[in-house]
Amino acid sequence: MNAVEIHDVTKTFDAVTAVDNLSLAVPEGSVYGFIGPNGSGKTTTMRMITGIFYPDRGAIRVFGRQMSGARSEMIGYLPEERGLYRKMEVRPLLEFYGELRGGRNVAAEVQAWLARLGLAQWASQKVEALSKGMSQKVQFIAAVVPEPKLLILDEPFSGLDPVSADAIREAVLDLRRRGATVILSTHDMNVAETLCDYIFMIFRGRKVLDGTLASIQEQYGNDTIRVAAEGAAVEDLPGVEKVRDFGHLQELRMSRGCDPQEVLRALVARARVTSFSVMKPSLHDIFVRIAGPAAEEGSDA
């Protein structure tokens, strides 16, 4: 069963089409990553799933139920714009949000989550006394108490230190293990690759990628060479249309029909090659191919 089904949804704001004829199915129990450049429509899509915005056209179903403005106690939502009542103490604030969504006392769950994310000693402090990272963790707890069936996280890792990010990542995976469906947006391609079962990319309001990482990479084939070579330039190699220089190694994108053996031969003739591997493109590379400056120029032409 799908946790979320989006059918031919369009949302416009004045003259801007934020989401254009989008269809998407999020399987229950999966972690679904939303990627895309800023302003591409990720947040608008998430807001429509939670019922904050209504689509102009199309329909959205959450666990088979049509969303029509009514908030569901099954959905936990962490918005991109972080905002909490600054004058409230952490524990009463979380109990308020939890009771608002779940309709019951959630004191025990709040206590457990505060302990899990290392915030127990801050429970009686006002929100304004917390650091940005701690506030973000508090807001994450507000989204997951009481435990939702569908968790929507808009850029949950932005601004977090590695330890806090790991704690949130662990919590997300744990919730998924307990049956929750997670939709998250991120600009960190590594997060999308390693955490998400499915990746959906939206660009200028339209869906441009949707599927597992492997299926997305399959669309592009083995067109990438990762090479490390001593003392030689890798530019102007035959069949190579783009080079990304990482310092100690370079990533070469081959043109269609290019033979990697030809590239290797040309490279060996120029320098001492210490490493050479043919691979599928990374998600980062795919993202840049779709939404980078070259793609912008191509679409503008």
Partner 1 sequence: MRRVLLIAKRDYLTSIRSRAFIIGLIVAPILFGGGFLGMALLRARPDIKDRRVAIVDRTGAAAELVIEAAREKNAKELFDKTTGKQQAPRYLFERAEPASDVNAERLALSDRVRGGELFAFVEIGPEAMHPADDTAIGENAAARRAAYFTNASGLDASREWIADAINDGLRRARLAQLGVDRSHFRDLLRTVTVERMGLIARDPKTGEIGAAHKRGEIEGFAVPFTVVTLLMMIVLVGASPMLPAVAEDKTQRVFEMLLGVATPFELMIGKVLAAMARSLTSSVFYVIGGTFVLVGLSLTALVPLSVHFWFFVYLLAELLILCALAAALGAACSSPQDAQNLGFLLVSPVLVPYFFLMPVLSQPNGAFATALSLFPPFTPLLMLLRQTLPGGIPVWQPWAGLVGALAFALAMTWAASRIFRVGILLQGKTAKAADLVRWAVRG
Contact residues for partner 1 (CB under 8 A)?
A: 50-52, 69-71, 75-79, 81-88, 96-97, 99-101, 103, 139, 142-143, 152
Contact 50, 25 (CB under 8 A): no
- Tokens (6 digits) for 132: 């940005």
Q: How far is the CB of 151 from partner 1 (least distance, A)?
A: 11
Q: How many angstroms separate the CA atoms of 184 and 172, rounded?
A: 10
Q: How far is the CB of 169 from partner 1 (least distance, A)?
A: 21
Contact 8, 31 (CB under 8 A): no
- How many whole angstroms from its chain centre is CA 258? 33
In the complex with partner 1, which residue's Cβ is closer, 139 or 250?
139
Q: How far is the CB of 69 from partner 1 (least distance, A)?
A: 6
User: Would you give the end-to-end CA distance of the chain in angstroms?
Assistant: 43
Q: How far is the CB of 243 from partner 1 (least distance, A)?
A: 40
Q: How many angstroms separate the CA atoms of 165 and 158, rounded?
A: 9
Q: How many angstroms separate the CA atoms of 164 and 134, rounded?
A: 9
According to DSSP, residue 180 is labeled -
In the complex with partner 1, which residue's Cβ is closer, 90 or 252?
90
In the complex with partner 1, which residue's Cβ is closer, 50 or 185?
50
According to DSSP, residue 64 is labeled T
In the complex with partner 1, which residue's Cβ is closer, 95 or 285?
95
Q: How far is the CB of 43 from partner 1 (least distance, A)?
A: 10
Q: How many angstroms separate the CA atoms of 234 and 224, rounded?
A: 14
Nearest to 214 by CA among 262, 286, 270: 286
- The number of beta carbons lying within 10 Å of the beta carbon of residue 44 is 24
In the complex with partner 1, which residue's Cβ is closer, 68 or 261?
68
In the complex with partner 1, which residue's Cβ is closer, 80 or 210?
80
Burial class (CB in 10 A: 0-12, 13-18, 19+), 200: buried
Q: How far is the CB of 162 from partner 1 (least distance, A)?
A: 25
Q: How far is the CB of 45 from partner 1 (least distance, A)?
A: 15
In the complex with partner 1, which residue's Cβ is closer, 101 or 149?
101
- Beta partners for residue 13, in sequence order: 16
- Tokens (6 digits) for 100: 């608002």
